[in-house]
Amino acid sequence: MSASVSYAVSDSLTMLRRNLKHALRYPAMTFSVVMMPVMILLLFNYAYGDALGAGIGGGSYIDYVTPGIVLMAATAGSVATAVGVCVDMTEGIVNRFRTMAISRSAFLAGHVVGSVIQTVIALVLVIGAAFAMGFRSSAGPVEWLAAIGLLVFVILALTWISAGIGLVAKTPESASNTPLPLTFLPFIGSAIVPPDSMPTALRWFAEYQPFTPIIETLRGLLMGTPIGNSAWSALAWCTGLTLLGYFWSRSVFYRR
């Protein structure tokens, strides 16, 4: 039993090395995960910043918008996961893995851990860009740690969901399109403007969708705004999405 556990770990690490090698050699995907949020950050800070800043009732707009854009970068990372998994599934290599005596969970574990690492690196770059544009946080070390922990948890949840999307997608193109609504979900939340300012139906959606409590928790940690129950909802959403993505991906992978 312990031999099979150590094989599960070493096989997963082998798969992880493979995925990281892909990412290093073909950084285009990581690059796009960083570029899109940075472009949006530039746009919202320099082009719309004054108007939107006035709209949210004063204060520095970059401070308001950064947590939401950081989350958007996390969703962009999940697109890369879905594509990576799907490319493997549509090529013969996965059938080779399946006919070898390797831990069955290693393939998915390698993809998910690799994607989480890639997306975390992307987020660090996006946060760096925000600082360069004037973002200033009130957070101390504890708040930063909590914020990083939350972000990693969010990335893990999104990555498992995307792994499932990558497994069921017929082509890499559809794998790259399917998570796109996820990327736009933060827009219909509290990422850009407070939901209070939205029409009723949209506001109702914005208040109850998963990204709003996550953004509010992140904003609270980084900017010192009140968090309230958002932290618990954020953790509940992340736990739920992780479990859903994990069991869904596993069952799809074992079935195919």
Partner 1 sequence: MVAISAVGLTKSYGDKAVLNGIDLTIPAGSVFALLGPNGAGKTTTVQILSTLIPADGGVARVAGHDLVREADGVRKAIGVTGQFSAVDNLLTAEENLLLMADLNHLRRREGRRRAEDLLRRFDLTEAARKPVATFSGGMRRKLDLAMTLVGDPKVIFLDEPTTGLDPRSRRTMWEIIRGLVADHGVTIFLTTQYLEEADQLADRIAVLDGGRIVAEGTAEELKRIVPGGRIRVQFADTVQLGAAAALFDYATADAEALRLDIPGDNSVITVKAVLDALDNASVRAESLTVETPDLDDVFLMLTGSTGVGVR
Summarize as ranges the residues that interact with partner 1 (CB under 8 A): 7, 10-11, 14, 17-18, 21-22, 25-26, 91-93, 95-102
Residue with tokens 């073909």: 26
CB of 68 to partner 1, least distance (A): 33
Q: What is the nearest approach in angstroms of partner 1 to the Cβ of residue 140?
A: 42
Structural contact between residues 215 and 71, judged by C-beta atoms closer than 8 angstroms: yes
Least separation in angstroms between residue 108's CB and partner 1 is: 15
Instruction: Check: CB of residue 157 under 8 Å from CB of residue 237.
Output: yes
Nearer to partner 1, 12 or 66 (CB): 12
CA distance 27 to 214: 28
- Give 96 or 200: the residue with its C-beta nearer to partner 1: 96
| DSSP state at residue 43 | I
Which residues have C-beta within 8 Å of that of residue 48, sequence separation ≥ 6? none
Q: Work out how close the CB of 127 gets to partner 1 at its nearest, in angstroms, rounded to a whole number.
A: 29
Nearest to 118 by CA among 20, 35, 25: 20
Q: Give the residue from 242, 65, 39, 246 showing the smallest Cα distance to 155.
A: 242
Residue 227 or 252: the one with the smaller Cβ distance to partner 1 is 252
Minimum distance of partner 1 from residue 153's CB (angstroms): 29
Q: How far is the CB of 82 from partner 1 (least distance, A)?
A: 17
Q: Select 25 or 201, whichever has its Cβ closest to partner 1.
A: 25
Total count of residues recorded for the chain: 256
**Torsion, CA 229, CA 230, CA 235, CA 237, rounded to 10:** 110
Q: What is the CA radius of gyration of the chain?
A: 19
Which is nearer to partner 1, 98 or 170 (by Cβ)? 98
CA-closest candidate to residue 163, choices 108, 214, 224: 108
State how far the Cα of 239 lies from the Cα of 109, in Å rounded to an integer.
Answer: 17
Min. distance of Cβ 10 from partner 1 in angstroms? 7
**Which one, 2 or 25, has the nearer CB to partner 1?**
25
| CB closer to partner 1, 98 vs 136 | 98
